[in-house]
Amino acid sequence: MRIVLVSPDDRSCRALGRELSRRASVEILGPCGTGAVRWLDPGTSRDGAVTVRRFRADYPVVAELERRLARAVAAGPADPALQERWVQERGPYSSALLDELGECAENCDVVVFFSLDSALTVLGLPLVGRPAVVVPSVVDWSLAGSEVLRGALARATGFVFASPEERGRIHALVGGDSPSAIADGSSAPFLEVARRVCAPADGPPAR
C-alpha cells in the first residue's frame, strides 16, 4: 500500500510516518515557511524509509487577520467567498503543494489529511481522485459547522478521530457512514481505516 500524508506541519506526523513505513510506502507532503525559523527549506529529504517533501508557503499567516475572518465566519450567515478567504488566511497555503498533490495522489492508494481547518485539507481534498482519510483535530468547534468545513468533511471517505467525543461531534455534522477509528498512538488505526476505504466493495481489504 502507498500512503501520502498531508500535514500543515510535517514534524507532527513524522513518527507516524516511520511506523506506517513498516507496512506501507509512505510520503509526507507539507509546507515550509509557516514560521520565521522554517521559511527557507523547500525540498525533499528522507526520514528513515519515509520521503518528506516540503513546499514553500505562498505567504505567512497573519494572526490578527485570520482571527477577524474567523469571527466573521462564526457569526454567519454563510458566505462562500468569505469562508474560502478565511481558510486561505488560516493557512498554511501553498499553491506549489496543491499543484503537486493531484499528480502525487495518482500514484498512491490513499491520502491522509491532518487538521480539518487547514487550508491544505479544505483545498486539497477536491484535488484527490483517491480515497481520502481525514484526521480532523478540531480546535475551534464554533467553526466546525461552517459550510466550507462541512464540505470538506463530506469529501472524506474515512476518518481517524482523537477521541470518541470528537467522533460523536463530527458524526453529528456529517453522519457516521464512513469507516473510522480512534487514534491510540500507533499506526494501527490509520492502517485499519486505509485498508477499509481502499477495499473493493465485494472483496477483502487491500494489503
Q: Residues 49-80: pLDDT tens digits?
A: 999 999 998 888 888 988 898 888 888 777 88
What is the average per-residue pLDDT within 135-143? 85
Q: What is the pTM of this model?
A: 0.89
Please give the angle made by the CA atoms of 189, 148 and 60, to the nearest 5 degrees. 85
2: pLDDT strictly greater than 90: yes
Of the CA atoms within 13 Å of residue 53, those in its CB half-sphere come to 14
What is the average per-residue pLDDT within 191-203? 79
Domains located in the chain, CATH noted = 2-198 (3.40.50.2000)
Q: Residues 7-48: pLDDT tens digits?
A: 998 888 999 999 999 999 999 999 986 554 444 578 999 999
Of 205 and 122, which is predicted with more confidence?
Answer: 122
206: pLDDT strictly greater than 50: no
Nearest to 91 by CA among 8, 167, 27: 8
**The pLDDT value given to residue 33:** 66
Dihedral sign for Cα atoms in the order 49, 10, 39, 100: positive
Q: Cα(146)–Cα(67) distance, rounded to whole angstroms?
A: 15
What is the average per-residue pLDDT within 145-150? 86
198: pLDDT strictly greater than 60: yes
Listing from the earlier edge strand, what are the strands of the sheet with 132-135?
A: 43-47, 50-56, 25-32, 2-6, 110-114, 132-135, 158-161, 180-182
Report which DSSP code applies to 127. Answer: G
Q: Say if CB 142 and CB 123 are below 8 A apart.
A: no
Cell triple for 46:
528522507
Q: What is the mean pLDDT of the chain?
A: 87
Residue 163 has φ and ψ, to the nearest 5°, of: -160, 165
